[in-house]
Structures are given as structure tokens and as C-alpha cells.
Amino acid sequence: MPVFIQFLCGLLFGAGLIVSDLANPPTLLGFFDIAALATGGWDPTLLFGLIGAVGVTFVGYRIVFARHRPIYAERFELPSATKIDARLLTGAALFGLGWGIAGLCPSPAVTVLGFGGMKAITYATALLGGMFLARTLATHLAARAV
Amino acid sequence: MISDFHPIPALVGGAMIGLASVMLMAFAGRIAGTSGIAQRLFPPYVDNVMPGRIAYLAGLIAAPGAMMLAGLAKSGPQIDAGLPLLLFAGALVGFGSVWGNGCTSGHGVCGIARLSIRSFAAAGTFTAAAMVSTYIVRHVL
């Protein structure tokens, strides 16, 4: 049952990406293209999508965190880091540079696999390769630091 | 190049994304961050919740088919970049999202909703960086 509910969560998330058009690269690139602010073609879809998403999550998390634990797990797994460090900003900058080239961040990159096509498969493969590299590098650095 | 802007579907779709994120926390106690979930397909393996991760990613992949069956998806995405650029961009996005501990879903939605200062910094950084590379690709190259 918990696994099926996680499938439904992914399904709903992906459906939201499609409804909002946020799984479509021109929509993202139209938001990033600030030069279009002057010429009138700027696309605020990402802003509206994030307002809807963050608004619902902000309220919903408060209701959920009022409980002691999740329904099917021992505890809430939340990030413990609180400091802004160079690694956070470097990673975010590299991620953003790639995002602005293709217009696909990880959630849409996985979702568009469902539409099929060579481009979607190529992009998702490169994405997973980059993740594997970073995860492996991070593990080695952590092992050396001990 | 120019896409249509529809504010109501953008807000509704965003709300669906938010609801999915709240449900994942309520049921599984997990942040709905796609890069965090996908990167843990790779070692090191430190927990035993892999079936849930795979189910979540399978749900994302099943969404286009479900939406097309329901008659709600018009067409597939328009990916203009060629394969070499897609390989380069995909690797950057994959590496950067792991190095920076999150992507648009983890930092941009869940982290900001938790008022995490790291997520505000990351979201501001990756959005600004995306504006730079879009500018370079569209107006410089």
C-alpha cells in the first residue's frame, strides 16, 4: 500500500507538470529569457506554477508536521544542514546553467520519458550519468575527510 | 520560441505539484525532490526504501500516458536542443542537482515551503544561472 501511494504521488506530480506546461522546455526558456521582458515575449508560467506549488506545500506541510510521524514511516526525513556553503552554491549554479540550456530540470526530465523519444532518453541518461558522477565524487571526498 | 501563457492551468498544475509533495511527506515522510530520489538509485545505499523511490519515479513516467488516456495532454514536449547539447546540459543538471543537494522540486518547492535558507539561496542561484545560460544560447551564440 505505501509503495502504491508513492506511485500515485509521482503520478500526481507529473500530471501537475503537464497541466501547468512546466514539462515543456519552451515554457521554461521563455521564463529565463529576460531579454524578452523588453520585447514582450516573456513567459511567467514558471512563476505562477511555483506560486501554486509553494502555496499548497507551505500550508499542507504545516498540517502534516502537526502530526508526530508520517502515516507509513517511522519519522519525517528532513535535511539537517542549515548553512549556505560553497558546495550548495556551486552545485546550484551548475544545475542552473544546464537548466537554462535545455529547459528541463530533473522532474520534467523523468516525466518526459513517458512521452518517449530519442531526445528525452538522451537527456535522462546524461542526467543520471551526472548524478552518478557527483554521488561517487561526494562519497570519495567524504571518505578522504574521515 | 514564444510559448503561450495560461495563468489558471499554471496555478492549478502548480497546486497539483504541491499536493503531491504534501502527500509524499504525509505518507512516506519524504521530501518530494526528484534529484534526491533519483540519485539514490545509485550507491551508497543507506536505507531500505528503494521500492518507494522506484514507485515514485514510475509515477512521474506514467503521468504522460495517464494524461493522454484521460484526454488531458495535448502533445509531447518541444525539445529544441540537439543531442550533443542535451548530453552536456543533462550532465550539468544531474551533477549540479546532486552537488547542490536539490533541484527545482526539492529546493524550489519543498525547501522554500519549509522556509529553508539554503533552499532560498539555491533557488535564487540556479534561476539566475539559468537566465545567464538561456541568454548565451539565445542571444550570444
Angle subtended at Cα A48 by Cα B26 and Cα B81, rounded to the nearest 5 degrees = 100
What span, in angstroms and rounded, lies between the C-alpha atoms of B135 and B129? 10
From first to last of its 146 residues, chain A has per-residue pLDDT tens of: 689 999 999 999 999 999 999 999 999 999 999 999 998 889 999 999 999 999 999 999 999 999 999 999 999 999 999 999 999 999 999 999 999 999 999 999 999 999 999 999 999 999 999 999 999 999 999 999 87
Q: Which amino acid is at B101?
A: N
The pLDDT assigned to A11 comes to 98
Say if the Cβ atoms of A91 and B122 lie within 8 Å: yes
Q: How far is A94 from chain B (nearest CA, A)?
A: 5
CB atoms within 10 A of CB B90: 27
Q: Give the model confidence (pLDDT) of B68-90 as tens digits.
A: 999 998 788 999 999 999 999 99
Mean pLDDT of chain B: 95
Q: How many CB pairs under 8 A join A and B?
A: 510
Q: Which residue has the higher pLDDT, B74 or B44?
A: B44
The pLDDT assigned to B111 comes to 98
User: Which of B7, B28, B123 shows the shortest C-beta gap to A73?
Assistant: B28
Using an 8 Å Cβ cutoff, are B81 and A102 in contact? yes
Say if the Cβ atoms of A33 and B133 lie within 8 Å: no
Burial code (b: 16+ CB inside 10 Å, e: under 16) for B40-49 equals bebeeeeeeb
What span, in angstroms and rounded, lies between the C-alpha atoms of B122 and A96? 9
Say if the Cβ atoms of B64 and A27 lie within 8 Å: no
A54 touches chain B (CB under 8 A): yes
The pLDDT assigned to B43 comes to 94
Predicted confidence (pLDDT) at residue B3 exceeds the cutoff of 70: no
Phi, psi for residue A56 in degrees, rounded to 5? -65, -40
Q: What is the mean pLDDT of residues B41-47?
A: 94
What span, in angstroms and rounded, lies between the C-alpha atoms of A134 and A40? 39
Per the listing, cell 544546464 goes with A98
Judging contacts by C-beta atoms under 8 Å, the chain B residues touching residue A8 are 23, 59
The pLDDT assigned to B2 comes to 47
Regarding an ipTM greater than 0.90, the answer is: yes
Judging contacts by C-beta atoms under 8 Å, the chain B residues touching residue A79 are 31, 101, 111, 116, 118
User: Which of A30, A54, A107 shows the shortest C-beta gap to B2?
Assistant: A30
Q: Which amino acid is at B52?
A: G
* Sign of the CA dihedral with B54 first, then B57, B61, and B63 last: positive
The pLDDT assigned to B73 comes to 86
The pLDDT assigned to B1 comes to 40
The pLDDT assigned to B69 comes to 95
Distances (CA, A) of B127 to A92, B68, B117: 9, 30, 16
Q: What percent of chain B has pLDDT over 70?
A: 98
